[in-house]
């Protein structure tokens, strides 16, 4: 089974080498989509022997993910895993995501920090509040009983990847993927994952303004 890891990356030179070294222990097919970084992100990924795709101009994480997924499908991937570049995710958790798919239990596995008690303790309070609001919002819009709506760790079969249509270029893609799962009745399982919170990743992560933008983007998308 060919497993491809897709890592959308923008200006992650500080942490990317460690992230890739961690992944390379377990996986061979790592695709880094450099979303027009203006630091050495792309060079680091190339030095680490990854497949690097370059966006000439910055288009957003959703767009970068879609580029990576499209390439993985061209390479006849069987399973596609999405993974963040900021060091928040652990490579060991990927096995937990992939195993249910290998055992034909579902089309997609979604990482959830709220199932893992160890992870829950470390979530900053305001971030936890925003994530909980996002969960309520997603339950209304996607009618999906998930516990974590904005976790970048997920795995899917190639067939599921072909069905899911990501139109949102920026952060709203996370909610959009869940809406696509619901729309196409894809089967999914949530898997506990540990999120490593650092000052770096918290600074890079989403803030209140981002959540407002996501809701606005999704609302306008539905009006079109």
Partner 1 sequence: MVLKIIVSFFVLFALSRVYLRYRDKSVGLFALIFWTILWGLVLFFAWLPRSSDTIARILGLSRGVEALLSISVVVLFYAIFRLYVKLEFIEHEITSLVRNLALKKK
Residue ranges that bind partner 1, judged by CB under 8 A: 33, 51, 53-57, 59-60, 63, 66-67, 70-71, 74, 167, 169, 220, 223-224
CB of 67 to partner 1, least distance (A): 5
Closest to partner 1 by CB, 36 or 189: 36
CB of 197 to partner 1, least distance (A): 30
Closest to partner 1 by CB, 51 or 193: 51
Strand partners, 31: 6, 51
Six-digit token string for 58: 């910055």
CB of 206 to partner 1, least distance (A): 20
| Cα 104 to the center of its chain, rounded Å | 21
Closest to partner 1 by CB, 179 or 190: 179
Closest to partner 1 by CB, 33 or 110: 33
CB of 63 to partner 1, least distance (A): 5
H/E run at residue 19: helix 16-24
> Which residue in the block uniquely carries the two structure tokens 């539905």?
222
CB of 138 to partner 1, least distance (A): 21
Closest to partner 1 by CB, 70 or 95: 70
DSSP state of 39: S
Q: CB of 58 within 8 A of CB of 36?
A: yes
Q: CB of 67 within 8 A of CB of 6?
A: no
Q: Cα(113)–Cα(128) distance, rounded to whole angstroms? A: 10
């Amino acid at each position: 089974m060919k497993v491809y890891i897709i890592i959308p990356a923008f200006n992650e030179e500080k942490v990317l080498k460690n992230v890739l070294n961690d992944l390379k222990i377990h996986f061979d097919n790592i695709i880094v989509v450099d979303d027009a970084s203006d630091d050495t992100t792309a060079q680091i990924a190339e030095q680490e022997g990854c497949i690097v795709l370059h966006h000439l101009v910055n288009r957003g994480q959703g767009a970068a993910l879609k580029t990576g997924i499209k390439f993985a499908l061209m390479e006849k991937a069987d399973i596609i895993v999405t993974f963040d570049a900021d060091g928040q995710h652990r490579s060991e958790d990927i096995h937990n995501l992939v195993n249910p798919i290998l055992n034909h239990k579902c089309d997609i596995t979604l990482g959830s920090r709220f199932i893992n008690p160890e992870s829950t303790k470390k979530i900053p309070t305001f971030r936890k509040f925003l994530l909980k609001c996002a969960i309520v919002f997603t339950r209304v819009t996607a009618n999906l009983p998930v516990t974590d709506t904005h976790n970048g760790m997920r795995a899917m079969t190639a067939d599921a990847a072909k069905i899911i249509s990501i139109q949102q270029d920026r952060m709203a893609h996370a909610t959009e993927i869940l809406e696509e799962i619901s729309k196409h009745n894809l089967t999914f399982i949530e898997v506990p994952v540990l999120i490593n919170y650092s000052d770096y990743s918290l600074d890079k992560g989403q803030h209140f303004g981002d959540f407002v933008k996501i809701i606005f983007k999704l609302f306008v998308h539905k009006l079109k």
